[in-house]
Amino acid sequence: MNLIQFLALFGLFVAGMAIACPFARFVPLLPEALIEVTCGMAAVLFFGWAVYRRCGWMARAPRCPKCGSAERAYSVIPSGPDGIKLECQTCKQVLMLQSESAVVLGDHGEEVGHLRLRWPKILGWWKADRPFEIKATD
């Protein structure tokens, strides 16, 4: 997440708080500040991805499915309009990153597995559609 993305999400958070402000005093038993912060967080979770899509931003790349590299250190490989090709700098596994999904590619460019963004998508949590195995090359 860069500064522009952070500021956009913070603006969404403040907008959610501002919308909740006039109504928070009518909710019994809960402090107004708690309701306002909750509405701000809900605004970010529910509308953050729409802002991301509108601005053409992508979610954080998934962990490498082969080596599990936590650094998410990828090199960008020039590719066509299908998406962005990323190569893991540790194990050279290639992913085709699209807006809400990522295709795990094998040694010969075949599809080995498929990852999909889970809700809330702005957090960049990825999950495999079904279990898959990446064969080691020798």
Give Cβ neighbours of residue 66 (< 8 Å, ≥ 6 apart). 88, 91, 93, 134
Supply the minimum distance, in Å, between the C-beta of residue 125 and Zn ion: 18
Q: Give 33-81 as a 3 state SS string.
A: HHHHHHHHHHHHHHHHHHHHHHHCCCCCCCCCCCCCCCCCCEEEECCCC
Cα gap 91→64, rounded to integer Å: 9
| Residues that bind Zn ion in the complex, under the rule CB under 5 A | 64, 66-67, 69, 88, 90-91, 93
- Based on CB atoms, which residue is closest to Zn ion, 46 or 71? 71
Supply the minimum distance, in Å, between the C-beta of residue 107 and Zn ion: 14
Supply the minimum distance, in Å, between the C-beta of residue 73 and Zn ion: 9
- Based on CB atoms, which residue is closest to Zn ion, 15 or 67? 67
- Based on CB atoms, which residue is closest to Zn ion, 69 or 99? 69
Supply the minimum distance, in Å, between the C-beta of residue 63 and Zn ion: 8
How many CA within 13 A on the CB side of residue 84? 17
- Based on CB atoms, which residue is closest to Zn ion, 51 or 63? 63
